[in-house]
Copies of this chain bind each other. A is one copy, B any other.
């Protein structure tokens, strides 16, 4: 049997160059060697975020990053407008509510994207922010962050974006698109094992941080920034040095390929995978006007068909794909094609799918 092939929407396949970094001897987080590494990684992650602002790094899952955004930007009782178009939109809303925020929700039918008009129609004067998932991993649909960002220009509200499964795979220009807080994680398009979350914070958001009264320590943005901006950049608490070395190597690869070439590669292989799926009579879940270039969702009418395919893909072809979430459990398969995706990976997945479907 061929090597295991990880085609899930995170964690994703980690390139050998990056894996090699993972097995290097651990370095001390207060040493010059670490500070130089962290400085390099910080510049490279800013490039991928397309921002001049600092991007903070915490050892945590992406969900920790979402929580970090809430506790640093808000106070109890603050009102926000949030888009729910799937599991991850709902997760951000749940976290906001846990911290006492009042959340007005724009419910978008699963598989669809929010329309800018819906934001326009629902944004109220007393909202402190809008919260949108860029790429909704559960439905494989992409929200129009660029257009929403254009509308948000000069608005007093913050524009907060969950970019966990988009950043590094789907275009997102943090500064040009007026994004104030942009969150991602290491294990998706950034081709690094899980365990790091990255959070970009705009000047406008830094002003808001000052007003937040929610308690925080581990995820305290001001503290993280103070350490980041030392002459030798560091972290307040022991960072996951090995993952930072790995992330730096992955970011080097993105830089070498060129960010827009990386986006183009994602688009090409997503398109190829979708075309092949449709050719074999499969039904894409997401609406055709918002298809994701990092993950594809395929839906089945027959109960448990999806679970059967997922199982066969693993057992017969050694290819790991994901199933559906919530009400789509057993009815959907999700194939990740992000990070170090290439033609042979798509080809092998398509050929196996042809035999399983």
Chain A residues engaging chain B, CB cutoff 8 angstroms: 3-4, 6, 8, 10-14, 19-20, 22-31, 58-64, 67, 94-95, 98-100, 185, 187, 193-195, 214-218, 236-243, 314, 320, 322
Contact = CB atoms under 8 A, between A and B. Distances in A.
A198 B63 CA distance: 18
How many copies of this chain?
2
Contact of A29 (B4, B98, B194): B194
Contacts of A187: 26, 238
A242 B194 contact: yes
17 contacts: A3-B25, A11-B238, A11-B241, A12-B26, A13-B25, A14-B26, A22-B242, A28-B322, A62-B237, A63-B236, A95-B217, A98-B216, A100-B215, A185-B238, A194-B239, A194-B242, A195-B195
Contacts of A240: 59, 61, 193-195, 240, 243
A31 to B, nearest CB: 6
Give the interface SS of chain A, mostly helix, strand, loop or mixed: loop
A60 to B, nearest CB: 6
A8 B33 CA distance: 15
Name the residue in A24, A194, A241 with the highest tally of chain B Cβ atoms < 10 Å from its Cβ. A194
Contact of A99 (B29, B60, B99, B215): B215
A195 B59 CA distance: 6
B238 A10 contact: yes
A163 B301 CA distance: 52
B25 A4 contact: yes
A291 B217 CA distance: 30
A98 B64 CA distance: 18
B11 A218 contact: no
Contacts of A243: 193, 195, 240, 243
